[in-house]
């Protein structure tokens, strides 16, 4: 088991103890809520993990390394930045994809650009939340103000890696 998992279990035990201290009935209520959340997330997680496995077996390593590998340079950062924009879903989808691409030979700089782009410009969030709640002018100004960040993040990552 890795350190992150151990930390998560320690925090779970700590929060359970805190809930019990507040009221002995709360840990069971928390577990029921956790189970409901698990039932909501499990199908998405299963699909994301299947998709990640398929990315690993479908994409040839040569293709990944050519387009977003060490030798891709700035082109790889641009490609990854665009890919981040069109990746649907939350981190349950994007992070396993990043992991799969990394295992296939993607360089860190394009992956940093991808995650930054996905975080800033995920189209599903813009369509579902920003446009309806904040309006087109807000989306335009926020996008314009943020457009360089994925590329800059990729360039900075390139400076700090051996890629």
Residue-wise pLDDT tens digits, 44-60: 888 888 988 888 899 89
Same domain membership, residue 92 and residue 147? yes
pLDDT beyond 70 at 64: yes
Residue 82 CB neighbours (<10 A): 15
Q: What is the largest CA-CA distance in the chain?
A: 58
- What pLDDT is stored for residue 68 in this prediction? 96
Same domain membership, residue 81 and residue 20? no
- B/e letters for 12-26, b = 16+ CB within 10 Å, e = fewer, are eeeeeeebeeeeeee
- What pLDDT is stored for residue 163 in this prediction? 67
Same domain membership, residue 155 and residue 79? yes
Residue 148 CB neighbours (<10 A): 11
Q: In whole angstroms, what is the distance from residue 81 CA to residue 100 CA?
A: 17
Per-residue confidence band for 1, with pLDDT thresholds at 50, 70 and 90:
confident
pTM, rounded to two decimals: 0.79
Tell me how many domains the chain contains: 2
Q: How distant is the alpha carbon of residue 83 from its chain centre?
A: 12
- Helices (H) and strands (E) counted in the chain, each on its own, are 10, 0
Q: In whole angstroms, what is the distance from residue 38 CA to residue 46 CA?
A: 11
Domain of 78? 60-163
8 Å CB contact between 158 and 77? yes
Same domain membership, residue 69 and residue 54? no
What spatial distance separates the first Cα and last Cα of the chain, rounded to whole Å? 29
Once rounded to an integer, what is the mean pLDDT over residues 87-103? 87
- The three-state secondary structure class of 52 is helix
Same domain membership, residue 22 and residue 76? no
């Amino acid at each position: 088991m890795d350190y992150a998992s151990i930390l998560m279990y320690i925090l779970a035990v700590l929060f359970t103890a805190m809930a019990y201290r507040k009221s002995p009935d709360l840990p069971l209520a928390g577990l029921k809520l956790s189970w409901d959340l698990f039932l909501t997330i499990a199908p998405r997680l299963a699909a994301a993990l299947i998709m990640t496995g398929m990315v690993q077996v479908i994409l040839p390593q040569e293709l990944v390394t050519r387009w977003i590998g060490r030798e891709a340079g700035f082109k790889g950062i641009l490609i990854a930045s665009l890919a981040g924009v069109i990746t649907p879903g939350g981190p349950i989808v994007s992070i396993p994809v990043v992991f799969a691409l990394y295992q296939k030979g993607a360089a860190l700089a394009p992956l940093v650009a991808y995650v930054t782009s996905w975080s800033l410009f995920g189209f599903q969030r813009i369509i579902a939340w920003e446009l309806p709640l904040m309006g087109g002018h807000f989306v335009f100004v926020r996008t314009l103000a943020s457009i360089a960040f994925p590329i800059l993040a990729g360039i900075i990552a390139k400076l700090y890696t051996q890629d």
